[in-house]
Structure 1
């Protein structure tokens, strides 16, 4: 059983995958566990950046850059902007029962054990994957040849939404 783990961790690519996966899962758990919204946004940003690291390990560099730009950057800033624009009262959450964190840990460890057991017992086909030579070039060809109309419609929609947000913010200011 542990021989398979050591074989898995024998290459740097697998170690990077393992670290990014742990950070993504940890960030998601922290996002759900924190009580302050700013801390939740930071944990969510950690999850998004870890997912970008997973995309790099999987040779999807373009998707990793888009993940960082759109989700880790824009969505996190948008959430912080929304927090700043709304009024929050200093309401404190009632303290959790002392056994709550213990049950959470037992549940998470049980789920991890179940998934680990299922992966160890599964018979996965082995083979080599031939990645595309230039992922970004292929994505660009698809966007600007086969999907140019939806791409342009999306850019118009985002521009209209941006202008609408500015108008709404100006009305509230006055």
Structure 2
């Protein structure tokens, strides 16, 4: 039933360590009560995910993960924390029954996923991956997917202008 034929290579060890770091960072983000600590644990999770992308030979995704999520999103969250008021924030009362049910649900979900993945048969990809996947992504983005790329940039610009307009409206109301 538990057919563990695992070859302990450097790739396996790196994947295991980075996976544990990502899971620990996510669990800490849920359990911390201070928002700054939560933000730092989310950044730790994002860095671990970037390392997983490197192990999976997706260097472009790792670069984007670090640039966007670790850099921009985490810094944006810290600025948001610093610019907002945190007066009289209380802590929720402990709910032992709810926490116990959540733990049992998590263990059941882990068991279902574990046995589902162990019994699954995955197809071996027939096409070889490109040596320079960043170049291939760039070629596809500016040829086949040029219109969706430009529409996404327009959408992000409109969202940015809308956020500025909402912030300006809130500032004028005060």
The gaps in structure 2 that reach 5 residues or longer are: none
How many aligned residue pairs are there? 172
- Normalising by structure 2, what TM-score? 0.77
Deviation at 1:144, TM superposition (A): 1.6
Q: Note if contact 1:59-1:131 (Cα within 8 Å) is conserved in structure 2.
A: no
Using the TM superposition, name which of 67-76 and 115-124 deviates more.
115-124
Aligned match of 2:11:
13
Between the aligned partners of 1:100 and 1:158, the Cα distance in structure 2 is 39
What RMSD over aligned residues (CA atoms) do the two structures have, in Å? 3.1
1:78 corresponds to 2:76:
yes
Q: What CA deviation, in whole Å up to 9, does each residue of 1:95-144 have, x standing for no partner?
A: 42567766655544443333223322333445676211210110110112
1:36 corresponds to 2:34:
yes
Q: Note if contact 1:27-1:44 (Cα within 8 Å) is conserved in structure 2.
A: yes
Aligned match of 1:48:
46
- Normalising by structure 1, what TM-score? 0.77
Aligned match of 1:64:
62
Q: What CA deviation, in whole Å up to 9, does each residue of 1:10-41 have, x standing for no partner?
A: 11112212222222222222222222211221
Between the aligned partners of 1:45 and 1:151, the Cα distance in structure 2 is 27
Deviation at 1:2, TM superposition (A): 6.3
Question: What secondary structure is seen at the aligned counterpart in 2 of 1:91?
Answer: coil
Deviation at 1:89, TM superposition (A): 1.4
Q: Note if contact 1:28-1:43 (Cα within 8 Å) is conserved in structure 2.
A: yes
The gaps in structure 1 that reach 5 residues or longer are: none
Between the aligned partners of 2:97 and 2:151, the Cα distance in structure 1 is 52
